Structure 1
Amino acid sequence: MRLVHRSAGPDADAGPDADAGPDADDRKSTVLADDVDVARSTLEQGRGLMFRRAVPDGYALVFPFEEADAQWLHMLFVPFAIDALWLVDGEVRKRKRLAPFVGLGRGRADTVAELPAGAAVDVAVGDEVRLVE
Structure 2
Amino acid sequence: MRMEILPLFAAAALAACSQGTASEGAVAPSAGVAEAGRTHPVSGLEVIPLTVRTAGGKLHRFDVEVARSDFEQAKGLMFRTELAPGEGMLFPYDPPEVASFWMKNTVIPLDIIFIDPKGRIINIAAQTVPYSTDSVVAEGKAGAVLELAGGRAAELGIAPGDKVSW
TM norm structure 2: 0.63
Matched, 1:105 2:136: yes
Q: CA deviation at 1:32?
A: 4.2
The corresponding residue for 1:87 is 115
In structure 2, how many angstroms separate the alpha carbons of the residues matched to 1:29 and 1:130? 13
The corresponding residue for 2:78 is 50
Deviation string 1:56-96 (CA, Å, 9 cap, x unpaired) is 12111000010221101110011110011100120000111
Identity across the alignment (%):
29
Structure 2 regions of 5+ residues with no counterpart? 1-47
Q: CA deviation at 1:4?
A: 1.1
Structure 1 regions of 5+ residues with no counterpart? 12-27
SS at match of 2:72: helix
Letter of the 1:123 counterpart: I
In structure 2, how many angstroms separate the alpha carbons of the residues matched to 1:57 and 1:3? 13
- How many residues align structurally? 112
Measured on the aligned residues, the alpha-carbon RMSD in Å equals: 1.4
Is the contact made by 1:40 and 1:64 (CA closer than 8 Å) also made in structure 2?
A: yes
Letter of the 1:110 counterpart: G
Deviation string 1:84-110 (CA, Å, 9 cap, x unpaired) is 110012000011121111153111311
TM norm structure 1: 0.78
SS at match of 1:43: helix
In structure 2, how many angstroms separate the alpha carbons of the residues matched to 1:52 and 1:39? 15
Is the contact made by 1:6 and 1:129 (CA closer than 8 Å) also made in structure 2?
A: yes
